[in-house]
């Protein structure tokens, strides 16, 4: 058996705080909760704080709840960060058909929110988590009082997200931690090596032979993250985008889009214009030094915008 790399998911918060200049007064109150769904599957979530959660954070495809750690530290508010089905510590999704997967994920997330954060002021969704949050607002509007979309709109296509798709479709197993780190650094030029090391420890597992496997790949069945889905024909893709835009356009609660402005972002000016057309009152914010994963590139600024939006929109 190969030497094991030690891992404690709650051991890195001081590093998160130090990297971004946040005051750290000792370990925060964070616990992991598992919610059993009606079909026997379990969804996992990190619960921050000891009082009623004020926010729900939903990560992107091929990520997990720990992607929000620095944002949560900066916000310093009680919140819930969910592991989507097939990600992190959650079981796989009930529905792996691409056309209905997001709606199925939203139904699962709704069950978690009803138990852990029924009175949350806002739902914050990044990438796949953003599309899931739009579907959640449609399926369970009583749970979504404000909506924050992090670098995602229904107009994002496979072409816009090609770099992410290529990364996710890459190797699922690596001979060593260093091999996995090297590939991750190559894909994330805007991030520090220390932050990527933490991210890998949260998002990959070491096998008995010493190799490493992405945590989101450790489920049977077809691909589980939206970015891995096979391409659709243009007509089907356009129809799917229109359904997404129609769902977002029907949202009646305050909406904010936070868009990264570096080339790694998947949102473009056309997406922004369409959002303004569908929701003229939506708030749109640009973060110049962030790509797609704004919560990793500029977590403190993202936290500031979330705090300001939820305060002003009450």
| Catalytic machinery residues | 127, 151, 292
Report the alpha-carbon distance of residue 42 to residue 40 in Å, rounded: 7
Burial class (CB in 10 A: 0-12, 13-18, 19+), 92: middle
The pair of structure tokens assigned to 295 is: 């919560």
DSSP classification of residue 174? E
How far apart are the C-alpha atoms of 132 and 85, rounded to whole Å?
11
Give the whole-angstrom CA distance, residue 272 versus residue 278: 10
Contact 123, 146 (CB under 8 A): yes
Q: 80 near 117, Cβ under 8 Å?
A: yes
> Tokens 């739009």 appear where?
134
Residue ranges of the alpha helices (H) in 174-268? 177-187, 193-203, 234-249
């Amino acid at each position: 058996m190969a030497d094991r790399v030690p891992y404690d998911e709650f051991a890195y918060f001081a590093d998160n705080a130090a990297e971004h200049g946040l005051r750290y007064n000792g370990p925060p109150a964070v616990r992991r909760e598992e919610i059993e769904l009606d079909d026997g599957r379990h969804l996992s979530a990190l619960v921050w704080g000891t009082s009623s959660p004020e926010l729900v954070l939903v990560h992107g495809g091929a990520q997990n709840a720990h992607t929000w750690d620095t944002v949560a530290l900066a916000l310093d508010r009680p919140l819930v960060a969910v592991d989507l089905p097939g990600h992190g510590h959650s079981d796989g999704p009930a529905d792996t058909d691409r056309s209905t997967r997001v709606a199925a994920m939203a139904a699962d997330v709704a069950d978690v929110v009803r138990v852990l954060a029924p009175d949350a002021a806002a739902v914050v969704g990044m990438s796949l988590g953003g599309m899931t949050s739009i579907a959640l607002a449609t399926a369970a509007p009583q749970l979504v009082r404000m909506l924050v979309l992090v670098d995602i709109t229904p107009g994002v296509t496979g072409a816009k997200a090609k770099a992410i798709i290529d990364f996710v479709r890459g190797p699922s197993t690596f001979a060593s931690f260093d091999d996995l780190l090297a590939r991750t650094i190559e894909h994330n030029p805007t991030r520090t090596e220390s932050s990527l090391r933490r991210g890998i420890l949260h998002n990959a597992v070491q096998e008995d032979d010493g190799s490493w496997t992405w945590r989101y790949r450790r489920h049977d069945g077809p691909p589980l993250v939206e970015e891995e889905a096979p391409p659709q024909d243009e007509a089907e893709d356009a129809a799917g985008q229109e359904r997404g835009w129609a769902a977002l356009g029907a949202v009646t609660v305050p909406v904010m889009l936070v868009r990264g402005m570096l080339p790694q972002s998947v949102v473009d000016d056309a997406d922004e214009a369409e959002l303004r057309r569908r929701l003229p009152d939506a708030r749109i914010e640009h973060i110049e030094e962030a790509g797609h994963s704004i919560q990793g590139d500029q977590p403190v600024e993202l936290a500031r915008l979330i705090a300001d939006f939820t305060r002003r929109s009450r």
